[in-house]
A and B are shown apart, each in its own frame.
Chain A
Amino acid sequence: MFQNTKCECGHQNPVGTVLCESCGKPLLEELLTDESAPLEMRYDGVARRSQKANPHIVDRIWNFFSSVKIAVYLIAITLVGACLGTIFQQENTLINMTERSEFAAFYKEQHGTFGVIYHALGLSRTYESWWFVLLLVMIGTSLVICSLDRVLPLYRALSKQQIRKHLQFITRQQVVYNGTVEGDQEAWLTELGKQLKRKHYRVYQEKGALLAEKNRFSRWGPYINHIGLIIFLLAVLGRSIPAWHMDKYLTLYEGETRQIPDTNYYVKNENFTVDYYTDDELANNQKGTKVVKLYETEARLYECTDACDDPMKEPVLTEVKHHNIRVNSALSYKGLKLYQNSYQERVRFISVKPSLINSATGKSLGTFELSMDHPAEKLEVGSYKLTLSDYYPDFSLDDKSQPMTKTREPNNPAFVIRVNGPNIQAAGELYIYFAMPSEKSKYYEKIINESFKQRGDNTGLFTIKVENPIVDGKMNNITYSEYSTYLNIRVDKAMPYIWFGAAISMIGLIMGFYWQHRRIWLRFDDHSLSLGGHTNKNSFGLRADVAWALGKTGIEVEPKSLDNRRNVR
C-alpha cells in the first residue's frame, strides 16, 4: 500500500491521514470525488497510530483491539451474554448449595429440560465463566488500545492548529456560510472575533483568516471516561487477590461470641431485635400482616490480644467496636465490615439455673448454673459438691438404646450430675436432668432417674428442677435466644479503587457530554468569505453561535440555513 502522504501545502502526513494535519485538505481519494459532501471529522482526520503499511503479528493484534467496530462487537456480545445470565437464577444466589450435582438437580427440578441445558452450558455461572471474563478482559484491552491510538494524535493535531485552512476543508464542514464582506475585512474579522469572545470562544486571527474555538477540553472526556473504566475493571480484578477480599457468613444466636474465620477478630451478638409495623402504620391492603420495620443486631467486635492460637487456653479478647448492625448500617472496623444479612426465628437454649431440692422437704438447697456450651464440670451448692459426668446437648437413644446426642445443637439438653456431700452415700447420688421443660423430656428424665435408683446410683434424695420457671409471663431461670442473626462479613480492599475508577469515569462522561468542542474557521479569498464550523455534538448550538455572531456584525442569517449536512436541501 503506497500512498502519497505529502499535502500540497507542503506538510508530510503519516500514512492513514484523512485530512491534512496542517491545512485540512482532504487527502483520501474517495473524499476527493464528491467535493460537496461534508467531511468526516473524526479525530480531526489524523492517522490513528495503528494504521501502518506493513503489519506485523503484534501490529495485527494491536489493530484488532484498536478498532471501534471490534469494541462495539465486544460490547454487544457482552450485552447478550449478560442477558443470558438473567434467564434463570445464578448458582451464587443458592447459598445453601455447593456441589455441582446439587445445582444440576436444582435446575432440573425447577426448570426442566431448559434448566438442564442452561446448567450444562454453564450459563448458571455466566458471570464467573471464563468466556465472560475473557470478554471483559478484551473490552479492557480495547479501552486501552483504542484510547491510546486516538488520543495522542488527536492531542497533537489540536495543539498545533493552523488558522488558515484549505478552502475545501472549510466548505465541507457541517456548518457552512458563504458570503461577501465589503470594506475593511480585517476590521470585520476583529469585530467578529470580539463577538465570538463574548460567547467564550478563544479567537486566533491572522491575515484574512480566523479560528475560534471553545471547550476543547471536552474532547478529552471520552478518554478520561475510558481511563476511569480501566481503573474500575482492574480494581474489580483486584478483588480476586485473596488478601484483598473476604466474603463469609456467620450465624450467631443471642449472646454467642464467635471468631471471624481467618482473622484475629471475634464478634458477639449481644442482642437481636425485630420490630414490626403496627396496623396503624400499614396501608389498608397490608393490615393484619406482619411487616418488618426494623431488625438489628447489637454487636460487639473483639480483637484477640493474647493466647489467640493456643488451643489450651481461652483467647483473651478486647472489645474494639460496639455497633447496632442493621441493613444499611454495617459495623465497620479497619476495613472489616459486618453486614446484617438476614435472621432466623429459632429458639436456642443458652443456660439454665436449676435448684437442688431436698425431695422429702421440698426445700431448695441452692441453685447452680448449667451452660449449654462448655458447662462447668464442678459446681458447689451449699455443702454439696456437684460433678457433671455427662452432657448430651440433643438427647436421644442410639440403636443399642444407649444415650447419645443427636446433633451438636442444644435442642434437648440432658445433664448427668453426680452429687457428693455430707450424709449421703459415699459414691454420691447420680441424677439426669433435662433442661427442656417439655413433657417428653420430663418423661425421659423420670424414667432414667428411676432406673438409676434401681441400680442404686441414687436414693431419690434430691430433685433437680427450675423453681418458678415463669414469673410475670416471662421465662425465669432459663436464658435462651429467640433469634439467630445472619451476618455477612466482608473485606474488600479494592473498594477505594473501584470508587476512584467510577469517579474518574463519571468526570469524563460529564466533560464529554455536557460541553461540546466547537470550532469556527473563516477565510477570505478576495471579497468572498468562507466560514466553516465543526462540533462533535450539538451542531444546533454551533449554528446558533455562528448566526448570532454574524448577526452582530451585520450579516443576518437563519441558523437553519447554515446546516450543510446532506448538502443544502
Chain B
Amino acid sequence: MTLNGWIDFSSDAFIVAFYLYCASFICFAIAVAGKRWSNRKPEDHTSRWGKIGFGLAVLGWLAHLTFFFTRWYGGGHIPTSNMYEFMTFLGMAIMFAFIVVHLIYRNMILGAFALPLIIIIIAYASVFPSEVQPLIPALNNYWLKIHVTTAATGEAFFAVGFAAALMQLIRVVDFTRTDKAGKRSQFWTEFSLFVIIVLIGFLVAVFTFRAAGYESTFNQETIVIDDAGIAKSSVKEVIYSLPPLVAPYNSEAVSFQSFIGMKEPLFESPSWLNGANAGRKLNTVIWSVIAGLLLYGVLRLFARKKLAAVIHPHLSDIDPDDLEEISYRAIAIGFPIFTLGALIFAMIWAEIAWSRFWGWDPKEVWALVTFLFYSVYLHLRLSRGWQGTRSAWLAVIGFLVVMFTLVGVNLVIAGLHSYSGV
C-alpha cells in the first residue's frame, strides 16, 4: 500500500469508529432508558445492554486506534500536530479513560454520558481540515509525541470526571423543589445541558452549510508592527463557510453568497478579538448559539419539560455517592498525568525548543490555570460541605476550563500554540 493508501484507509477506520461509537451510545441509552420496559428485570436489562454498549465502544476504540496508527504510518509523523488530529486523539484518549474507569467501577450508565461527549469531540474534530500536513520545524521533535499524548490523556480523565459529575448533578437535582436554591440548581443543570446542545448546534450548522457548499470571502487588512518597529499592512483572504453575520474586522467582501435574503454582514467584528480569523470565529459562535437555541426549542417542544427532568427519572436508582466517587477518582487518576504531560513535559519541550521552560504564553497560562483549578477541587474535597453537589459543579466547571485551554485559547487569544491556524 502507498502512504496515501494508508491515509485513505485510516480515514475509513475513523468513520467506522465514529459509527461504532454512535451504536454504542444507542445501546447505553437503551440500557438507561429501557429499564422500565415490560417483561424484564431492570438490572438484567441494564447489565445486558450496558455490556453490548461497552463491547461496541471497545470495538470502536480499536477502529480508532487503527485510524491513529495507520495515519501515523501514512503521514510520517504522529497525528497530533493540528486541531483535527489533536481533537481525534483527545476523543480516543477519553475513550481510553472511559474504558479504564468502566473496568474499575463497572457502572453501566456512565457510557450513556461519556459516549456522547466522545462523539461530540470527534465530530468537532471533523470540522477542521483533515489533510495530513507536514510538520513545521518547531513541532519536529519527539516531545511532540510525549507531551501531547500525556497531556491529552490527563485531560481525558477530567472529561470522564465531568461526565460522571454531570450525571450526578442530573441525578440529585430535585424538580419538586420551588425554593430559590432548588430553582437555581434546576436552572444551572439545565443550562449545562443547553451548552452541550449549543455544541451540537454548532456541529449541525457547520455540517449543514458544508453539505450545501456555502462560501463567502472577505479581504481583511491587518497591520503588523515588525521587528524594526515599522507598521506594515497585509491583506489576507478570509473564507467563511457559514453565512457571515459578522464580517472580519477591517475587511471588505470579495464574494458574498446571499442567505435567505441577507446580502451583507450584519456587523463587523470588534478589533479587540485578536486571535487568527477572529471575525469568522465570532460568526461561528453566533451561528452555534442560533442553531443550539433552535435545537433546544425543538427538544423542549417534544419533551414538554426540562431536558434534565427527562433524564432525571432514569438515573433514580443510581447512588449519587457512587457517581461522585467515579468523578473524583477519574480526576484523581487524571491529575498526575495532566501535571506530567501538560506542565512538566511541556516545560521540558519548551526548554528545548523555545529556550525557556516557561514563558507565560496564553496556552501555558491556561494549562497552569487548569492545574490550579483542579488543585482547588482536590483541596476543597478535603473539607466538609464541599463533597457532593458542590464538588460535582467544580468537576463540570473544571472541564470547561480544560476545553477553553484546548479550544478557546486558540479561538480568542493569539499565542505560540496557534499552529493549526484554526
> Which of A's residues lie within 8 Å of B, judged by CB?
40, 42, 68-69, 71-72, 75-76, 78-79, 82-83, 85-90, 92, 95-97, 106, 110-112, 114-115, 126-127, 247, 277, 281-286, 291-295, 326-330, 337, 339, 341, 344, 488, 490, 492, 495, 498-499, 502, 505-506, 509-510, 513-514, 537-540, 560, 563, 565-566, 569
User: What are 30 A-B contacts with C-beta separation under 8 Å?
Assistant: A72-B380, A75-B372, A76-B372, A76-B376, A79-B373, A82-B369, A86-B366, A86-B413, A88-B274, A89-B414, A96-B226, A110-B271, A111-B271, A112-B271, A114-B272, A126-B360, A283-B129, A294-B140, A327-B140, A330-B355, A341-B355, A344-B227, A490-B355, A490-B356, A502-B344, A506-B344, A513-B336, A514-B333, A538-B329, A540-B325
The contact string, 1 if C-beta is below 8 Å from chain A, for chain B 224-249, is: 01111100000000000000000000
* Interface positions of B (Cβ within 8 A of A): 104-105, 129, 131-134, 136-138, 140-141, 143, 225-229, 271-272, 274, 319, 321-322, 325, 328-329, 332-333, 335-336, 339-340, 343-344, 347-348, 351-357, 359-360, 362, 365-366, 368-369, 372-373, 375-376, 379-380, 382-384, 409, 413-414
A563/B136 in contact, CB under 8 A:
no
Contact B134 A282 (CB under 8 A): yes
The one of A69, A88, A126, A294 that contacts B383, using a Cβ cutoff of 8 Å? A69
6 A-B pairs closest in CB distance: A283-B131, A339-B355, A509-B336, A328-B141, A79-B372, A86-B362
Q: Across the interface, do B272 and A112 meet the contact criterion of CB distance under 8 Å? A: yes
Q: How many whole Å from A303's CB to the nearest CB in chain B?
A: 21
Q: Tell me whether B332 and A537 are in contact (CB under 8 A).
A: yes
Q: How far is the CB of A119 from chain B (nearest CB, A)?
A: 13
Minimal Cβ-Cβ distance residue in A for B362 = A86
> Closest CB of chain B to A480's CB: distance in Å?
20
For A76, what are the chain B residues with a Cβ–Cβ distance below 8 Å?
A: 372, 376
Structural contact, B325 and A292, CB atoms closer than 8 A: no
Q: Return A431 CB to nearest CB of chain B, in Å.
A: 34
Q: Are B325 and A539 in contact (CB under 8 A)?
A: yes
For B343, the chain A residues whose CB sits under 8 A away are 502
Q: How far is the CA of A514 from the CA of B319 in the complex (A)?
A: 24
* Assembly CA distance A89 to B336 (angstroms): 30
**Contact assessment for B360 and A295 in the assembled complex, using a CB-CB cutoff below 8 Å:** no
Residue among B132, B375, B409 with the highest chain A CB neighbour number at 10 A = B375
Contact of B137 among A87, A326, A513 (CB under 8 A): A326
Using A68-B382, A72-B376, A96-B225 as known contacts, say yes or no to A502 and B138 having CB atoms under 8 A apart: no
Docked-complex contact B357 and A495, CB < 8 angstroms: yes
What A residues does B321 contact at CB under 8 A?
A: 563, 565-566
Looking at the assembled complex, report how far the CB atom of A164 sits from the nearest CB atom of chain B, in whole angstroms: 28
Q: How far is the CB of A444 from chain B (nearest CB, A)?
A: 25
Nearest Cβ on chain A to B388's Cβ, whole angstroms: 9
B181 to chain A, nearest CB (A): 19
How distant is the Cα of A468 from the Cα of B329 in the complex, in angstroms? 77
Q: Which chain B positions have C-beta within 8 A of A110?
A: 271-272, 274
Interface of B is mostly: helix
A285 touches B372 (CB 8 A): no
| Residues of A close to B357: CB separation below 8 A | 495, 498
Please tell me if the beta carbons of A285 and B129 are within 8 angstroms of each other in the complex. Answer: yes
Known contacts A281-B134, A283-B129, A540-B329, then 8 further A-B pairs from the complex at CB < 8 Å, ordered by chain A residue = A83-B365, A86-B365, A92-B359, A283-B132, A283-B134, A328-B352, A339-B354, A490-B355
Asked, given contacts A82-B372, A85-B360, A295-B137, whether A328 binds B353 with beta carbons under 8 Å apart, the answer is yes
Contact A79 B133 (CB under 8 A): no
Smallest Cβ-Cβ distance to B413: which chain A residue: A86
- Across-interface contacts of B225 in A (CB, < 8 A): 96, 106
**A42 to chain B: closest residue by CB:** B382
Minimum CB–CB distance for A398 against chain B, Å: 23
Contacts of A502 in B (CB 8 A): 343-344, 347
In the bound complex, residues from chain B placing their C-beta under 8 Å from that of A510 are 336
Residues in A neighbouring B227, C-beta threshold 8 A: 95-96, 344
- Among residues of A, the one whose C-beta sits closest to the C-beta of B143 is A328
State the Cβ distance, B150 to closest chain A Cβ, in Å.
Answer: 11
How far apart sit A284 and B365, CA to CA, in the bound complex (Å)? 34
* Candidates B131, B140, B322, B332; contact of A328 at CB < 8 Å: B140
Q: In the complex, A112→B373 CA distance in Å?
A: 31
Chain B residue nearest in CB terms to A80:
B369
CB distance from B261 to the nearest CB of A (A): 31
Shortest distance from the beta carbon of A518 to any chain B beta carbon, whole Å = 14
Could you tell me if A71 and B336 are in contact, using CB atoms closer than 8 angstroms?
Answer: no
**A residues within 8 A CB of B136?**
291-292
**Known contacts A82-B369, A83-B369: does B105 contact A540 (CB below 8 Å)?**
yes
Chain A residues near B333 (CB-CB < 8 A): 513-514
Task: Let me know if A291 and B339 touch, CB within 8 A.
Answer: no
Q: How far is the CA of A78 from the CA of B373 in the complex (A)?
A: 10
Tell me which residues across on chain B come within 8 A of A490, comparing CB atoms: 355-356
Which residues of chain B have C-beta atoms less than 8 A from A283's C-beta? 129, 131-134
Evaluate whether A96 and B336 lie within 8 angstroms (CB atoms) in the complex, with A283-B132, A292-B137, A339-B355 already known: no
B347 to chain A, nearest CB (A): 7
A114 CA to B272 CA, complexed, in Å? 9
Q: Are B137 and A284 in contact (CB under 8 A)?
A: no
Q: How far does the Cβ of B189 sit from chain A's closest Cβ, in whole Å?
A: 21
A406, chain B: closest CB distance, angstroms: 15
Task: Point out the residues of chain B lying under 8 angstroms from A291, CB to CB.
Answer: 134, 136
Return chain A residues, CB-CB under 8 Å to B140: 294, 327-328
Which residues does chain B contribute within 8 Å of A514, judged by CB atoms?
333, 336
B339/A509 in contact, CB under 8 A:
yes
**Are the CB atoms of A82 and B133 closer together than 8 Å?**
no
Q: A294 and B355: CB pair below 8 A? A: no
Smallest Cβ distance from B139 to chain A, in angstroms?
A: 9
In angstroms, Cα B225 to Cα A95, docked, is 11
Contacts of B365 in A (CB 8 A): 82-83, 85-86
- Report the minimal beta-carbon distance from B126 to chain A, rounded to whole angstroms: 15
Task: Name the CB-closest residue of A to B414.
Answer: A89
Q: How far is the CA of A90 from the CA of B362 in the complex (A)?
A: 9
Given known contacts A294-B137, A490-B356, A540-B105, is B383 in contact with A68 (CB within 8 Å)? yes
Contacts of A505 in B (CB 8 A): 339
**CB closest residue in chain A, given B328:** A537
Contact A127–B360 (Cβ < 8 Å): yes
A83 CB → nearest B CB, Å: 6
In the assembled complex, the Cα of A339 lies from the Cα of B351 at a distance in Å of: 10
Set of chain B residues within 8 Å of A106, measured between Cβ atoms: 225
C-alpha spacing A178/B365, complex, angstroms: 51
Min CB–CB distance B324 → chain A (angstroms): 10
Which listed residue (B133, B336, B353, B368) contacts A506, Cβ 8 A? Answer: B336
Residue of A nearest to B339 (CB): A509
Tell me the complex Cα distance, A126–B382, Å: 31
Complex Cα distance, B138 from A384, in Å, reads 54
Q: Which residues of A contact B129 (CB under 8 A)?
A: 283, 285
Assess whether A328 is in contact with B138, with CB atoms less than 8 Å apart: yes
In the assembled complex, the Cα of A291 lies from the Cα of B352 at a distance in Å of 22
